[in-house]
Amino acid sequence: MIILVKKNAEKRQVDNLLAWLKAHKIDPHVSVGAQETLIGCVGDVSHLDIDLVSALDVVESVQRIQDPFKAANRKFHPEDTIVDCSGPTIGGGHFLVIAGPCSVESEEQVIGIAKAVKAAGATLLRGGAFKPRTSPYSFQGLGAEGLKMLIAAKRETGLPIVTELMNSAHLDLFNDVDVIQIGARNMQNFDLLKEVGHHTRKPILLKRGLSGTLQELLMSAEYIMASGNPNVMLCERGIRTFETATRNTIDLTVVPILHRLTHLPVVVDPSHATGVAKLVHPVAAAATAIGADALIIEVHNDPPHAKCDGAQSQTPEMFAETMELVRKLRPLAIR
Amino acid sequence: MIILVKKNAEKRQVDNLLAWLKAHKIDPHVSVGAQETLIGCVGDVSHLDIDLVSALDVVESVQRIQDPFKAANRKFHPEDTIVDCSGPTIGGGHFLVIAGPCSVESEEQVIGIAKAVKAAGATLLRGGAFKPRTSPYSFQGLGAEGLKMLIAAKRETGLPIVTELMNSAHLDLFNDVDVIQIGARNMQNFDLLKEVGHHTRKPILLKRGLSGTLQELLMSAEYIMASGNPNVMLCERGIRTFETATRNTIDLTVVPILHRLTHLPVVVDPSHATGVAKLVHPVAAAATAIGADALIIEVHNDPPHAKCDGAQSQTPEMFAETMELVRKLRPLAIR
Amino acid sequence: MIILVKKNAEKRQVDNLLAWLKAHKIDPHVSVGAQETLIGCVGDVSHLDIDLVSALDVVESVQRIQDPFKAANRKFHPEDTIVDCSGPTIGGGHFLVIAGPCSVESEEQVIGIAKAVKAAGATLLRGGAFKPRTSPYSFQGLGAEGLKMLIAAKRETGLPIVTELMNSAHLDLFNDVDVIQIGARNMQNFDLLKEVGHHTRKPILLKRGLSGTLQELLMSAEYIMASGNPNVMLCERGIRTFETATRNTIDLTVVPILHRLTHLPVVVDPSHATGVAKLVHPVAAAATAIGADALIIEVHNDPPHAKCDGAQSQTPEMFAETMELVRKLRPLAIR
Amino acid sequence: MIILVKKNAEKRQVDNLLAWLKAHKIDPHVSVGAQETLIGCVGDVSHLDIDLVSALDVVESVQRIQDPFKAANRKFHPEDTIVDCSGPTIGGGHFLVIAGPCSVESEEQVIGIAKAVKAAGATLLRGGAFKPRTSPYSFQGLGAEGLKMLIAAKRETGLPIVTELMNSAHLDLFNDVDVIQIGARNMQNFDLLKEVGHHTRKPILLKRGLSGTLQELLMSAEYIMASGNPNVMLCERGIRTFETATRNTIDLTVVPILHRLTHLPVVVDPSHATGVAKLVHPVAAAATAIGADALIIEVHNDPPHAKCDGAQSQTPEMFAETMELVRKLRPLAIR
C-alpha cells in the first residue's frame, strides 16, 4: 500500500499517521521529495480498509499494490488446479465441453439431448431445474422434478451433470448433482457462496456477474475457497456494456489474464455471451483458440419451442459441427 | 409486439407464422410494403418469449412495445403509492430521511448516532447487521447481535429501523425491523425477492444493482409485488460505468423517469453513489431538488475508526448541515 | 510514481532499474519488505511513459500518484478562473444561462427564439450552424449562412453567441462569435484543440466526450491552455452507459468533483444529457442545486418541426418556467 | 418504423398524425387492438427524425425497424467488398497482416522493423507520423518527417504503408501513403470523414471509437462511402467498459456480426485492445479463428525505449511466433 501525503501536511500530522500505521502492525517507509511525501507500506495490509485510509485528513490518496485474493492467487499456488468432475477433469491442460438445454422440460427431452450431445463429444450435461428469470411471469423451471429428470439422464448416458443452485435451502436436493453452478446474478450473493464453501466439496462453476470485475470474480471464488471448498472453476459469460448488438459483451482476453492471475480453470459460455445461436459457433472457436479450459453450450432439440433461451440454443446438428471445429483447434490452442 | 418479416420470405412461411401467433392467442395485423412486411401484434403478449420469436427462420427482427411490468406500472395504477414505515410515510409528497451507520458496531455507538441523526431531523434509522462485503476477510457485521443493538436504539429514540436482509433464513430475526433492505448485489436474487413478497408485508427498500437497468429494477419490484407484498420503495444508488472518479455513477434523471413509469416511491442514496463523504452533501442537495421521495445517508460518529465505509460516512455535524439545506430545498423540489 | 518490483527480481536487475530511473532524472527511494520491494519516485515524472515502465521485465506494476494536468489544475492555480463571454461572466460565483435552438434554420427563427430566451433571462444565445450528425443523410446545418443569421440575432438582441466549430478551416468565419464550442465527438480531436489554443483567445466551451473520463476532459482542456488560450469552460453533457432509459447518463457529481480538481468553470447541458424535453426541467434544477456555473439549454419555437433535436428542445414557455425555478434555487446552490 | 399511439388519444389526433405522416410521403398502416393502436410505416423513412416523431403529443413510443446505413449494408450489396491495398488485398477470403511501430522514430528504426515484419510474413507496414496523444506533453510524432521515413521504408522493402491522418490539411502529404487510417478518437470527426471520402479513393482503415456502437461505426463508414470513396475497412480495437484489467474490452463477436451486417472487410487490432504485449499473441489467435480479415499489430525493435506504446509492442521475435500460429489457424478460421 502506498500513501501520498497532502502537500501542506505538518510534520506532527505525518508522525501521527506513522504511529497509527505502526499501531495497525504496518511497517511504513517514508520517501520525501521536493513536491510530495510518499509512505510505502510493505507487508500484509489486507486487514486495513483502504478507503478508510484515504479518508484521513492528511492523506491525498492511497493505492493498493497487492492482490486482495490469496487462496485463488497463482502467486501463492503456482500449479494449475485440476478439478475432477466425477470423472472428466478440467484444468492443467484437461479440456471439457458441457452441453445441454437451458431448462429441463421433460425426462424424454433431456435424455434425448443428453444422448445427442454425448454422441457429438460433450463430456458433461448441463440443464436448468431452478431458473433465474428477469420476469416473475416467465417459466421458473421445474425445480425438484427437473432435477430428477436430469439425474435420470445422467443414469441413462453416464454424463455427469451441472445445474444451478439459487437457494442454499435446496442444497439437500443436489446430492446426485456433480457440478453446482452459481449464476451470474448470484456472483455476489455472499451467503450462498459461503454455503457452497462450507457444506460441499463438489466442484463449483462460478459465473461472472454482468458487472463483475475480474478482481470481484476472484474475491467471490475466494469466499468459496476460504469457506472450505477449493474446487472452483470460473466462467466468463459476457459483461454488460453500452453495445446492444449482442446480448452481452464477451472479452475473451480474460482467459489469458485469469490464467496469469489464478490457478483455477476458466470456462467460457458462448451461449449467454451472445444470446444468438448463430454466433455460438464462431465464439466457441475463438474461445478454444485463446485457451479456455472448457466450453459450456446450450443445446436444444427444438429451439423454437424451448421454454427458455430458445434464441441462443444450438440444435444438436449445430453443436456437432462446433465440436468438430473445436477438436481441430485444440492442438493449436494457447497454453 | 412488432415482427419484421424477412425480405425473401415466402407466402407459405408468413401464413405459418400467422397461424402460430393465433395459436398463441395473439391477434396479428399485417402491413405489406414494397420493401418489407410488418406484423403488428396487439393485445397481451407477456406470455411469449420475444427472443424466441426473433429466432424463427422467417423473422428478421422483433420489438416489444409494451412494458413487461404490471403491478408496478403507473399506467395501471395512476395514484402514487404511499408506504407507511411504522409511522413516517413516503410517497405522494411525503418525504423521509433515513440515516445511520454503515454497520452496527456496539449498542452505545448506534444509540449515540441514532440520537444525533434524530436531533438533526432524520425520520428513520439505518444500520447494517448482516453486511455484504466483497472480501471474505473483511468485517461481515455483528449479525443477530447487531440486530438487537439496532432494536435497542429504536426503543431508545422511537426511530423506526431499516436494515439489510441477505438470507431468507434470517427472516425470523427481523420481526422488530420496520423496513427490510434488499441490497444492490441481491437485486436479482429472485428467491430472496419471492420470500420477502410471500412472508411479510413490511416495506421493502429495493436497491438498484450495479448494472441493473430501470426495467430490471422494476421487474424485481414486480417479483415482490406479484408474491403478495405491495410495499416497495426503489432506491437509486449509482451504477457501474467506465468513470473511476467516483465509486459509482449516479444518474439522478432516474428520479423523474421512475416517477413517470411507476407509482412506487423513489429513494436516493448519496453515500454509496459517491463513496466520498464530502460529496454526499452536494448530491443530497441535487437529489432533493430533482424530487426524490427520500434520502438514505450514512452517518458515523467517528468515520476514521468505522468498521466499514468510513470513507463515505458523514459525521453528525455534516449530516445536520445537509439536513438544513434539504429542508430549504424541499419547497422548491420537482413534483 | 510507485514501482512494485517482481518478487523474484535479482539485486543486479533492481540496480539496473535504479540506474535507468536516475538516467531519466528521477530520484528513486527503495523500501524493502519481506514480501516485496517498492520504489517510490518523487519529483516530476510527467516525461516518462508509465505504461513503458510497467512493461520492464523486473517490474510487477506501476502506479501514477500525480495528476498529469497542470495548467488546469487547482493545486497550482487555487483561484477560480472567471471567463468573460463578451460581457456576461462565468466562474467564481458568476452564473450564466445559455439557450437557443439546436440548429439555426432561418434568420426569423433564430431572432424570434433569441428574443424569447432573453426575455426569460438567458444571458447567451446558442445555435448550431455546422452540425455533427451521426448520419450523412441528416440535415448538416446551414454552415456559413447559419453563422450570419446567428450574428444577426446577436445584433438584434445584444446576446453574445455560442456556436460549434467542427473544422479549424472555418475559424476565419468565427470572428463575430463570442464563445466557440468544441463538441463531444471532438473532445479528443487534438489538432482542433491545438488550433483553438493557438489562434484565438475567445472562450472555449469544451464538451465531455461520450466515453471521456474526467481526467481526459482535463487533459483536453490542457491542450487548449498549453497552446495559449486560458479561457476554457468544461461542459458535462452525459456519458454513454448500459442504461437506455435516457439518451445519456449524466452524473452531476462531476460538478463538485471538477470544482475540486480544477479552477475552470463547469457548465451542465441537460438537453443532450437526457434527450427528452420533459426531463430538461428537473435536470436543470438538480444541476443548479449542485453548483453548476452555467446551464446550456436547447429551446425551439416549434419542436415538432425542428430540423434537429426537436425531441429534446424546450418551448420558450417551458424554458421560462425552468428559468424561474433556477432563479429560486441559485441562492441555495452548493458553492 | 412503428408508432405506438397513446392509450387516451382521440380519433382526431390520430387522424392528424396519419395526415402528417402522409405529408412526409410515408405510407401508414393502422392496427387497432383492445389495449393499444399501432401504426406501421413501411417504406423508406430515413429522411424522418425518429426522436422527433416520439416527441409528438399523441405518440407513446416509436421504433425503427430498418438499418439507417445503405452503402455499407450487405442487404443491398451481398458480395464481399475486396479492397486493394496497392497489391495485397483484403476481404472476400483475402487475409492481411499489418505490422510496424506505434510511431516512426528514425529512418533506420522503421526500415529495420519493416524488414523484420516482412520476413515474418507481414503484408503491410504500419507506423505513426502524426500521433494522437491524450497529453499535450507527450511525444506527438515526427509529422511530415516521419512520413518521409515511412516512405523510405516502403521503397526499401516494397511493403505498402498504413498511417494515420488526423487533419485534412495534411492530405497533400499522403500521396505516397497506401492506406489512410482514421483513428478511434476521430471516428465521428465527420468533417475528416467527408474529406477522405471526397478527395481520395485510397483505402481507409476506419477504427471504432471507444464508445462507438457498431451502428455508429457503420454510419461513419457511410459518411466516407456517401462522399465517394467505397474502399473502407472497419477496425475493431476494443471499447471502453467498467473493466480495468485490460486497457480496453474487445468483443471479437463483432467480427461475425459485422460480416452479417456489411460487405466491408473487418480488421482486428490486438495491440490497442489489450495494451499489453503478452496478450497480443492470444488475442491475435482468437481473432484469426473467429474470421477477421486482417490483423494490425504493433512491433518495435526495442519496446522499453519506444517513444510511445512500448508496453503493447511485440518484439520482432514475438511477432514471428504470432505469425506462425496465425498461419496454422487460418485454414480453420470461420468463414
DSSP annotation string for B35-89: S-EEEEEES--TTS-HHHHHHSTTEEEEE--S-S--TTBGGG--SPP-EE-SS-E
d(CA C213, CA C209): 8
Where would I find the H helices in C76-138?
Answer: 107-120
CA-nearest residue to C324 within chain B is B332
* Spatial CA neighbour of B273 closest among B258, B293, B254, B300: B254
Edge to edge, what strands does the sheet with B59-63 contain?
B27-32, B37-42, B2-5, B59-63
Contact state of A4 with C65 under an 8 Å Cβ cutoff: yes
Q: Yes or no: say if C234 and C193 are a contact pair by the CB < 8 Å rule.
A: no
Q: Cα angle at D125 between D121 and D126, to 5 degrees? A: 130
A75 is written with which cell numbers?
502467486
In chain B, where the domains are located: 2-63, 74-332
Q: Is it the case that residue A57 has pLDDT exceeding 80?
A: no
Cβ-Cβ contacts under 8 Å, D63 against chain B? 2, 63, 65
pLDDT band, residue A82 (cuts 50/70/90): very high
Pairing of strands A2-5, A59-63: antiparallel
DSSP annotation string for A66-103: S-S--TTBGGG--SPP-EE-SS-EEBTTB-EEEEE-SB
Give the pLDDT of residue A243.
Answer: 93
A300 is written with which cell numbers?
436444444
Give A317's DSSP letter.
H
* Spatial CA neighbour of D33 closest among C120, A55, B303, B27: B27
First to last CA, chain D: 33
Edge to edge, what strands does the sheet with D59-63 contain?
D27-32, D37-42, D2-5, D59-63
Taking residues C121-134, report their average pLDDT: 96
> Sign of the CA dihedral C139, C144, C125, C90?
positive
Q: Torsion over CA of B304, B307, B309 and B311, rounded to 10 degrees?
A: 10
Question: Partners for B (CB, 8 Å, 3+ pairs)?
Answer: A, C, D
Question: Partners for D (CB, 8 Å, 3+ pairs)?
Answer: A, B, C
> How many residues belong to chain B?
335
pLDDT band, residue B156 (cuts 50/70/90): very high
Taking residues B88-105, report their average pLDDT: 97
Q: Torsion over CA of B210, B212, B218 and B220, rounded to 10 degrees?
A: -80
Cβ-Cβ contacts under 8 Å, C4 against chain A? 65
Q: Which helix (H) or strand (E) holds C37?
A: strand C37-42
CA-nearest residue to A209 within chain D is D243
Q: Is it the case that residue B214 has pLDDT exceeding 70?
A: yes
Give the pLDDT of residue B208.
Answer: 98
Give the pLDDT of residue C274.
Answer: 94
CA-nearest residue to D28 within chain B is B31
Contact state of D283 with A289 under an 8 Å Cβ cutoff: no
D273 is written with which cell numbers?
485492445
pLDDT band, residue B179 (cuts 50/70/90): very high
Please say whether the structural domain D2-63 has been given the CATH code 3.30.70.1140: yes
Query: Across all residues in chain A, what is the average pLDDT?
Result: 92
Contact state of B188 with A56 under an 8 Å Cβ cutoff: no
Cβ-Cβ contacts under 8 Å, B241 against chain C? 239, 241, 249, 251
Q: How far is A2 from chain B (nearest CA, A)?
A: 17
d(CA C3, CA C42): 11
Contact state of A303 with B55 under an 8 Å Cβ cutoff: yes
Cβ-Cβ contacts under 8 Å, B185 against chain A? 188-190
Q: Yes or no: say if A252 and A268 are a contact pair by the CB < 8 Å rule.
A: yes
Count how many Cα atoms sit within 13 Å of the Cα of residue A301 in the half-sphere of its side chain: 13
- Chain centroid to Cα B180, Å, comes to 12
Number of other CB atoms surrounding residue D331 within 10 Å: 7
| A311: nearest CB among B51, B168, B190 | B51
Which backbone phi and psi does A9 adopt, to 5 degrees?
-65, 140
Taking residues A162-172, report their average pLDDT: 96
Q: How far is A34 from chain C (nearest CA, A)?
A: 6
Which backbone phi and psi does D239 adopt, to 5 degrees?
-115, 170
d(CA C314, CA C277): 5
Give the pLDDT of residue A302.
Answer: 87
Q: Is it the case that residue A29 has pLDDT exceeding 90?
A: no
Contact state of C214 with B245 under an 8 Å Cβ cutoff: yes
Cβ-Cβ contacts under 8 Å, B289 against chain C? 285-286, 288-290, 329
Lowest pLDDT segment from A14-28, A31-45, D6-20, D132-146: A31-45
Give the pLDDT of residue B43.
Answer: 67
Cβ-Cβ contacts under 8 Å, C276 against chain D? 55
Cβ-Cβ contacts under 8 Å, D215 against chain B? none
Give the pLDDT of residue D318.
Answer: 97
Query: Across all residues in chain B, what is the average pLDDT?
Result: 92
Taking residues C295-311, report their average pLDDT: 87
Q: What percent of chain B has pLDDT over 70?
A: 97
Q: Yes or no: say if C312 and C277 are a contact pair by the CB < 8 Å rule.
A: yes
Which residues touch B318 (CB under 8 Å, ≥6 apart)?
B277, B280, B281, B299
Taking residues A175-198, report their average pLDDT: 97
Give the pLDDT of residue C22.
Answer: 85
d(CA D223, CA D232): 10
First to last CA, chain A: 33
Cβ-Cβ contacts under 8 Å, A324 against chain D? none
> Which segments of chain D have a pLDDT < 50?
none
Contact state of C52 with D240 under an 8 Å Cβ cutoff: no
d(CA A13, CA A11): 5
Is 0.90 topped by the overall pTM? yes
Q: At what angle do helices B144-157 and B107-120 cross, to 10 degrees?
A: 40
Q: Which helix (H) or strand (E) holds B98?
A: strand B96-100
Q: Is it the case that residue B246 has pLDDT exceeding 90?
A: no
- Amino acid symbol at D267: V
More confident residue, B216 or A41: B216
Q: Torsion over CA of B315, B320, B325 and B330, rounded to 10 degrees?
A: 110
Q: Yes or no: say if B204 and B176 are a contact pair by the CB < 8 Å rule.
A: no
Give the pLDDT of residue C21.
Answer: 85
Q: Is it the case that residue B131 has pLDDT exceeding 80?
A: yes
Which site among B1, B2, B54 would you substitute to test the D interface, given the most D Cβ atoms closer than 10 Å to its Cβ?
B2
* Spatial CA neighbour of A96 closest among A72, A117, A73: A117
| A166: nearest CB among B167, B169, B191 | B191
Q: What is the CA radius of gyration of chain B?
A: 23
Which backbone phi and psi does A262 adopt, to 5 degrees?
-135, 160
- Amino acid symbol at D149: M
d(CA D216, CA D239): 13
- For the segment C73-88, what is each residue's pLDDT rounded down to a tens digit? 998 899 999 999 999 9
Q: Yes or no: say if B112 and B155 are a contact pair by the CB < 8 Å rule.
A: no
Q: Is it the case that residue B79 has pLDDT exceeding 80?
A: yes
Give the pLDDT of residue A35.
Answer: 64
Q: Cα angle at D320 between D319 and D321, to 5 degrees? A: 90
Q: Which residues pair with D4 in a beta bridge?
A: D38, D61
CA-nearest residue to A49 within chain B is B308
Per-residue CA distances from C5 to A227, D177, D210 (Å): 32, 43, 32
Which of helix, strand or coil describes residue A261? helix
Q: Which helix (H) or strand (E) holds C196?
A: helix C190-198
Q: Is it the case that residue B35 has pLDDT exceeding 70?
A: no
D60 is written with which cell numbers?
407513446
| C65: nearest CB among A32, A43, A61 | A61
Question: Partners for A (CB, 8 Å, 3+ pairs)?
Answer: B, C, D
DSSP annotation string for B251-308: BTTHHHHHHHHBSS-EEE-HHHHH--HHHHHHHHHHHHHTT-SEEEEEB-SSGGG-SS
pLDDT band, residue C50 (cuts 50/70/90): confident
Cβ-Cβ contacts under 8 Å, C42 against chain A? 31-38
Number of other CB atoms surrounding residue D25 within 10 Å: 11
d(CA C20, CA C41): 12
Q: How far is B199 from chain C (nearest CA, A)?
A: 32
Burial of B319 (0-12, 13-18, 19+ CB in 10 A): buried
Give the pLDDT of residue A144.
Answer: 96
CA-nearest residue to C286 within chain B is B286
Give D310's DSSP letter.
G
Give the pLDDT of residue A23.
Answer: 81
Which of helix, strand or coil describes residue D290? coil
Which site among D290, D321, D334, D335 would you substitute to test the A interface, given the most A Cβ atoms closer than 10 Å to its Cβ?
D290
Superfamily of domain D74-332: Aldolase class I (3.20.20.70)
Q: Tell me, what's the ipTM?
A: 0.91
Give the pLDDT of residue C43.
Answer: 67
Contact state of B243 with C244 under an 8 Å Cβ cutoff: no
Lowest pLDDT segment from A59-68, A208-217, B279-288, D130-139: A59-68
Q: At what angle do helices C277-289 and B254-261 cross, to 10 degrees?
A: 140
Cβ-Cβ contacts under 8 Å, C63 against chain A? 2, 63, 65
d(CA C176, CA D317): 58
Contact state of C257 with B279 under an 8 Å Cβ cutoff: yes
d(CA B60, CA B53): 10
* Spatial CA neighbour of A55 closest among B321, B278, C256: B278
